[in-house]
């Protein structure tokens, strides 16, 4: 009998985690083979632990992060670490581009990276020796963004980056508003490093100096700057806010490192060249007698599982490869791990607790403390056996903010024996592995939707529909049939934002690092109430805050009521149409043909773009690319078919232009019409973009859609549930733990 609780779980395993040969032939025949592969790889240095590791993995109780699950035991040259913060960027041209090279090498192996751009002098500052003004950190972020577009991370995933900037940098206001340009910095998540002094100035309505290297460039009102941060986040969902002083104060290693950036999802604040690997305890599997009066989380089993997970993760530090030697040295010196949880909301439901209630927050805090205790004691046992991390200093370590609240028996054990891992706990995004584990609730997020329907592409090209049900809801159905769900069943759509904050704050008390969580806000939340969410996060001890408010800019997400799993019908009449199945080609279409003469090529390329007219508006429907040069025949035919197939699916197809324009020819590009075009494919992309602009489909060159992308499905299928996934095309993109994530295939914006 299959170990998978739902068809989607098996599909995620097959697509993302199952080991296959280069030709696609499976090497992992079953999920048990995957568990065995991981257990054997991570016990290579202590073979007696293999069965213990396998037992932890079995039945999805412990879920190593995707890079470990997909990469361990494969022999492939990939890192098993999820998170990296790169070196401090020098304020020099040579140093900046050295850092760019390091970023490319790290993303090439599949690592998401973070950078603090506060170290680069502001725009307009003097550049000594060259009689010029500095272009500022934002201009260099554009360079990073372009580089990231050309680097495909391991597992065919785009690289993910985090950019941070201090709230007192002279260019902070440009940083705050950068994402208002829909075409700019698309590969970055962005967060402002907010200090305690700044928050106090906001509360007291004081002034705030913007400075660099001791020179004050401007003085602003702190509350005005705070409101600009809030307004950008309210309108564009970015930048996020990181309470950087609190992070450094509470850091176990504040005696030997300073943190100024995080990984792309924010759960790992890291020093220069810091690296962290991730894994999650599936709390939904730890509950005995779910939905009964005797329901409880098995504390003994939880502590034992945590101890095994810590040992496994400690071994990963030694087994993993690293893109850079500096990252390997940093990891070995501190042996940082990030053990977290998933399935929290489901576990609370099984105990009859309403997510967001005081009782649920108290239970969450208690569970997080138990996990923290078990993690620290397990790491102490490892230190007895293998030695503490090299930079361990008992007095300084125990004086850090996070250790001061730990129980005396744990502190005494650390003082006597040391500890193997400097930091142990973190709550990371678990969107894909939560689907793999049977669609348990993700991380510490509430249940997103009780159930929804997804279309599944079959081998013969047809599509079938299947219901995807939350793990706890399915358990309820199995026990009680069609009996109505109790009142304590709540989801992300119905929760008040302050309930989200309460749960994040409760979990943060016992988490070494930080938490990746999205606070869902209703579209009609007032600006003042929205600002209160961030102030509450600050007041209650959170290390950062990420919100998502659906609107015309960010797009809406799957909205599921307690009574129904159907999304509401979208407004009709928009010219951007989502099509659940490809439309048949009409007898005639309107279009234009464009000629592109690539330098040093004997024959021109002709590009024809034909449009479909819907509700009086034109949208691209197909492309034909032709050339008399037979060397171009195969790829032009392939491109014609692929682009046309994408266009016929509807939706926001502007990404086709972005991808083509980002292709660089290693042999060099060419100057055309006063612009440098990096490849012939980029030239084709530019032609298609100009056509889209001319027909009104795009707002302008390098800009977004002309109209609201939320529109009706034409003729076929059910209404869209949100943005279309760029990977599988399903309308199931949702904001989870700071990442736009597809519930159908697990594709994530953050990699």
Q: Which listed residue (102, 267, 319, 445) is catalytic?
A: 267
The reply to whether 304 belongs to the active site is no
Please state, in angstroms and rounded to a whole number, the distance separating the CA atoms of residues 202 and 29.
58
The reply to whether 263 belongs to the active site is yes
* E strand or H helix at 480: helix 471-480
Please state, in angstroms and rounded to a whole number, the distance separating the CA atoms of residues 486 and 493.
17
Q: At what angle do helices 299-319 and 50-57 cross, to 10 degrees?
A: 120
Please tell me the chain's helix, strand, coil percentages from 3-state DSSP, rounded to the nearest 5: 40, 20, 45
Phi, psi (degrees; rounded to nearest 5) at 267: -80, -10
The reply to whether 551 belongs to the active site is no
Contacts of 709 (CB under 8 A, 6+ apart): 555, 574, 576, 651, 652, 723
Buried/exposed code over 399-436 (b: 16+ C-beta within 10 A; e: otherwise) = ebebbeebeeebbebbeebbbbbbbbbbbbbbbbbbbb
**At 671, is the secondary structure helix, strand, or coil?**
strand
Among 125, 88, 117, residue whose Cα is nearest residue 214: 125
CA distance readout (Å), 39 to 47, 53, 62, 374, 566: 9, 5, 12, 21, 41
Please state, in angstroms and rounded to a whole number, the distance separating the CA atoms of residues 503 and 361.
5
Contacts of 328 (CB under 8 A, 6+ apart): 322
Query: Is 255:271 a contact under the CB 8 Å cutoff?
Result: no
Please state, in angstroms and rounded to a whole number, the distance separating the CA atoms of residues 209 and 191.
19
**At 478, is the secondary structure helix, strand, or coil?**
helix
Query: Is 253:331 a contact under the CB 8 Å cutoff?
Result: no
Please state, in angstroms and rounded to a whole number, the distance separating the CA atoms of residues 163 and 182.
17
Please state, in angstroms and rounded to a whole number, the distance separating the CA atoms of residues 11 and 25.
15
**Sequence-ordered strand ranges (E) for 334-430:** 337-342
Measure CA 469 to chain center.
23
CA distance readout (Å), 44 to 48, 177, 483, 631: 9, 49, 49, 50
- Any bridge partners for residue 625, and if so which? 607
Among 115, 146, 133, 161, residue whose Cα is nearest residue 272: 115
Hunting for tokens 């176990």 — which residue is that? 252
Among 529, 577, 501, 511, residue whose Cα is nearest residue 372: 511
Q: Which listed residue (189, 251, 263, 282) is catalytic?
A: 263
**At 62, is the secondary structure helix, strand, or coil?**
strand
Catalytic machinery residues? 263, 265, 267
């Amino acid at each position: 009998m299959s170990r998978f609780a739902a068809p989607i779980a098996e599909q995620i395993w097959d697509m993302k985690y199952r080991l296959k040969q280069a030709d696609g032939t499976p090497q992992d025949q079953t999920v048990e083979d995957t568990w065995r592969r991981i257990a054997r790889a991570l016990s290579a240095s202590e073979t007696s632990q293999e069965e213990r590791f396998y037992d932890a993995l079995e039945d999805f109780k412990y879920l190593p992060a995707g890079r470990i699950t997909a990469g361990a035991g494969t022999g492939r040259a990939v890192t098993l670490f999820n998170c990296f913060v790169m070196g401090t960027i020098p304020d020099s041209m040579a140093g900046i581009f050295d850092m760019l090279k390091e970023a490319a090498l790290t993303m090439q192996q599949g690592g998401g990276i973070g950078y603090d751009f506060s170290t680069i002098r502001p725009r307009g500052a003097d550049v000594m020796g060259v009689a010029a003004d500095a272009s500022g950190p934002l201009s260099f972020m554009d360079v990073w963004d372009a580089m990231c577009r050309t680097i495909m991370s391991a597992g065919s995933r785009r690289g993910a980056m985090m950019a941070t900037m201090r709230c007192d940098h002279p260019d902070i206001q440009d940083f705050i508003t950068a994402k208002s340009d829909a075409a700019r910095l698309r590969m970055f998540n962005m967060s402002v490093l907010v200090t305690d002094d700044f928050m106090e100035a906001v509360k007291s309505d004081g002034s705030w100096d913007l400075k660099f290297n001791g020179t004050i460039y401007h003085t602003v009102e702190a509350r005005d700057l705070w409101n600009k941060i809030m307004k950008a986040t309210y309108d564009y969902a970015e930048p996020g806010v990181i309470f950087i002083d609190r992070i450094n104060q509470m850091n176990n290693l504040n005696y030997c490192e300073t943190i100024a950036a995080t990984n792309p999802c924010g759960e790992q604040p890291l020093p220069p060249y810091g690296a962290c690997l991730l894994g999650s305890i599936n709390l939904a599997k730890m509950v005995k007698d779910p939905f009964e009066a005797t329901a409880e989380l098995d504390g003994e089993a939880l502590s034992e599982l945590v101890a095994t997970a810590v040992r496994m993760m400690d071994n990963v530090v030694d087994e993993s490869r690293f893109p850079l030697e500096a990252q390997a040295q940093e990891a070995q010196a501190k042996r940082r791990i990030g053990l977290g949880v998933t399935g929290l909301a489901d576990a609370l439901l099984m105990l009859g607790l309403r997510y967001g209630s005081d009782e649920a927050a108290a239970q969450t805090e208690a569970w997080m403390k138990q996990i923290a205790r078990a993690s620290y004691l397990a790491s102490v046992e490892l230190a007895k056996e293998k030695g503490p991390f090299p930079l361990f200093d008992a007095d300084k370590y125990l004086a850090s903010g996070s250790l001061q609240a730990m129980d005396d028996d744990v502190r005494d054990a650390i003082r006597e024996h040391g500890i193997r891992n400097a930091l142990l706990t973190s709550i990371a995004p678990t969107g894909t592995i939560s689907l793999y584990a049977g669609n348990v609730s993700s991380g510490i997020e509430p249940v997103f939707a009780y159930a929804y329907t997804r279309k599944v592409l079959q081998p013969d090209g047809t599509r079938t529909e299947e219901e995807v049900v939350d793990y706890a809801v399915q358990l309820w159905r199995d026990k009680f049939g069609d009996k109505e769900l109790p009142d304590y069943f709540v989801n992300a759509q119905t929760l008040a934002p302050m309930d989200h904050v309460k749960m994040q704050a409760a979990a943060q008390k016992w988490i070494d690092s930080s938490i990746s969580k999205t606070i869902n806000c209703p579209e009609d939340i007032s600006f003042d109430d929205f600002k209160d969410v961030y102030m509450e996060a600050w007041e209650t001890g959170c290390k950062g805050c990420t919100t998502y408010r659906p609107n015309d800019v960010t797009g809406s997400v799957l909205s599921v009521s307690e009574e129904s799993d159907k999304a509401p019908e979208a407004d009709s009449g928009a010219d951007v149409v989502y099509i659940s199945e490809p439309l048949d080609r009409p007898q005639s279409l309107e279009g234009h043909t464009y000629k592109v003469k690539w330098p040093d090529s004997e024959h021109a390329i002709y590009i024809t773009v034909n449009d479909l007219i819907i509700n009086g508006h034109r949208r691209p429907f197909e492309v034909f690319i032709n050339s008399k040069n037979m060397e171009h025949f195969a790829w032009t035919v392939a491109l014609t078919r692929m682009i046309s197939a994408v266009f016929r699916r509807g939706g926001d197809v502007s990404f086709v232009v972005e991808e083509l324009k980002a292709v660089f020819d290693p042999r060099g590009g060419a100057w055309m019409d006063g612009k440098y075009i990096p490849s012939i494919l980029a030239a084709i992309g530019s032609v298609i973009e100009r056509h889209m602009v001319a027909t009104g489909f795009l707002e302008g060159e390098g800009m977004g859609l002309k109209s609201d992308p939320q529109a009706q499905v034409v003729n076929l299928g059910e209404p869209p549930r949100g943005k279309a996934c760029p990977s599988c095309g399903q309308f199931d993109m949702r904001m989870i733990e700071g990442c736009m994530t597809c519930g159908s295939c697990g594709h994530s914006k953050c990699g």
